[in-house]
Amino acid sequence: MTQIILLNFSAKEAEAIKKAGYEVERGIMGRSEAAGKSIPFWAPHPLYEYDVLFYKSTVIDELLKEFPNCKNLAAETGSLNALRNLGGSPKVRVSFIENETGFAQLIQGGVGFIELHKAEDNVSVFLDTTGNVFQIDPVHTAIAGLKSQIVKVTHFVTAKDPYPFFHVPALLAKNGSTIAAYGTTYESQGLPAYIVLPQLKNIAQGVIAILKALEKSTPALFPDRSDGNWSESDEFLLPDEKNLNDKINRIIAETVSTIEKLKRELVELQKVNAYVRKLLTATEDPKIDISERLSSVVRKSFEFLGFQVEDIDEKTKSAIKKEDFWVKDGDYLGITEVTGTVNVNPKAQEFNAIAGRMMSIYKRKTDLTLPEGVTVKGLLVLNYDTLRHPSSRPKAYTGELEHLVKSAEEQDIGILSTVELHKIIVAVMEGLLSPEDARNVLKKSGRIEFDSSRQKKKPEGGS
């Protein structure tokens, strides 16, 4: 008999599922506490004894009263390891995301690479997806059939490095974010290792719909619920049917091998290009590795564009804090300061600091000597409001601080947000802008802005 565990389901919901012919047991899996070190948990048996796990992220007060003897999941080694081992038991993990879990990942649902992102309020348009080579038709159809049941979307889901699992989005919001998804592997075609769904009006009906889909896609998971269609199994394929089936499997295997190779290449390429994305999130936090700090990713970006970058903080022996970089290109020398903050707007003191350096740079007597024959300008690189999407961040020094932009123009200082720098890097990578043109944009004074929509892709071999 198929062993099914319902975590955080009411007795009424479990009874409705039993009436549909499925034997289920109930348990509880609470929200993360003590910074993830404690998760309230109780189940009749260790989780590795179950075939299918259903997890609902809402824990109502009645459940806490019903299961007063919760343990800490962290101390339940067998169940904890079962959740960590996607591909083991439970063979299928189905999660209904209704509220915060205490983690940014789907830990309680047993799929650690699934990341949960807060959705906007009142998401109401749900778009079907089709055409994925690893689509499991009965499961895909069942999820699509639940659209009318969706009562609220609290989180979007993404899969970070799911390999060897193939992540299949099933329902999308209008902005392309994933609302519902599942994952499988080539070896276990037809069996979704995980399914992630939003909050439903009638969760018992949702569970029953998924279980019926699993019966169709993976009948071996329900040996006690045979519908008499055993004659249609692979065991009774005729020779010409077997040959064609084998040919299909060979093509799929070759495709999977190619995809796996490309995925490995993609992972390596993402590592190389990581600095471009980090332009939008990095800070100068001394607790993180130097290579991960904002100044390091800014330096890589300038070097990618063809600037010569000299690290002044490393070069000077003076105890007085100096600028971060000298950025050079021909007769251009940019005295560059880099700063990052989660604050919504950069502070005036950041601009005042580089303005003061520009006024005193020819007067200071230190171990730093300006090269001859160069045009010296200032460049302030700012990453701010880092918790917000780049498209929603304000321009640097607007409102009451707009006068600083005018001062920057007068004093030959460029004010560059990393959002604009990111746009420029991407434009160069896409062939919309040459490195030389990009460098010229960054040599401007005042607030530096770049509109990629006005750029036309340069022809192959063109300049």
411 shares its domain with 312: yes
Q: Could you tell me whether strands 105-106 and 308-311 are parallel, antiparallel, or unpaired per DSSP bridges? A: unpaired
Contact 193, 93 (CB under 8 A): yes
269 shares its domain with 333: no
Contact 378, 412 (CB under 8 A): yes
Residue ranges making up the domain that contains 374: 290-454
Tell how far CA 131 is from the center of its chain.
Answer: 23
Written as six digits, the tokens of 123 are: 């998401």
Q: What is the pLDDT of residue 245?
A: 83
449 backbone dihedrals φ, ψ, rounded to 5°? -130, 150
48 shares its domain with 180: yes
Contact 298, 381 (CB under 8 A): yes
199 shares its domain with 305: no
Contact 5, 95 (CB under 8 A): no
93 shares its domain with 155: yes
- The pLDDT-based confidence of 65 (bands split at 50, 70, 90) is confident
Mean pLDDT of 77-105: 91
CATH of the domain at 195: 3.40.50
CA–CA dist 211, 223 (Å, integer): 13
65 shares its domain with 139: yes
Contact 14, 22 (CB under 8 A): no
265 shares its domain with 346: no
Task: Say whether 149 sits in a helix, a strand or coil.
Answer: helix
- The pLDDT-based confidence of 68 (bands split at 50, 70, 90) is confident
Residue 194 lies in a domain: yes
Residues 6+ apart with CB under 8 A from 233: 219
Which of 52-66, 183-197, 323-337, 359-373 comes out lowest in average pLDDT? Answer: 359-373
Residue 69 lies in a domain: yes
Residue 463 lies in a domain: no
Residue 12 lies in a domain: yes
244 shares its domain with 391: no
Which of 60-64, 73-77, 87-91, 396-400 comes out lowest in average pLDDT? Answer: 60-64
pLDDT above 90 coverage of the chain, percent:
53
Residue 351 lies in a domain: yes
344 backbone dihedrals φ, ψ, rounded to 5°? -65, -35
Between the alpha carbon of residue 69 and those of residues 29, 40, 61, 65, the distances in Å are 12, 9, 14, 9
Q: What is the pLDDT of residue 287?
A: 84
411 shares its domain with 369: yes
Q: What is the pLDDT of residue 360?
A: 77
* Matching residue, tokens 């929509």: 453
449 shares its domain with 337: yes
Strands of 341-418, DSSP E: 375-383, 413-417
Residues 32-47: tens digit of each pLDDT: 875 657 888 999 999 9
Residue 199 has pLDDT above 70, yes or no: yes
Residue 285 lies in a domain: no
Tell how far CA 310 is from the center of its chain.
Answer: 34
309 shares its domain with 178: no
42 shares its domain with 130: yes
Task: State the Cα angle at 343 between 339 and 348, rounded to 5°.
Answer: 60
Mean pLDDT of 229-237: 65
Number of structural domains in the chain: 3
Q: What is the pLDDT of residue 319?
A: 41
Residue 460 lies in a domain: no
Residue 462 lies in a domain: no
Residues 360-415: tens digit of each pLDDT: 776 655 556 777 888 999 999 999 988 888 888 899 998 899 999 999 999 999 99
Which of 20-24, 122-126, 129-133, 414-418 comes out lowest in average pLDDT? Answer: 129-133
CATH of the domain at 313: 3.40.91.30
Residue 121 has pLDDT above 60, yes or no: yes
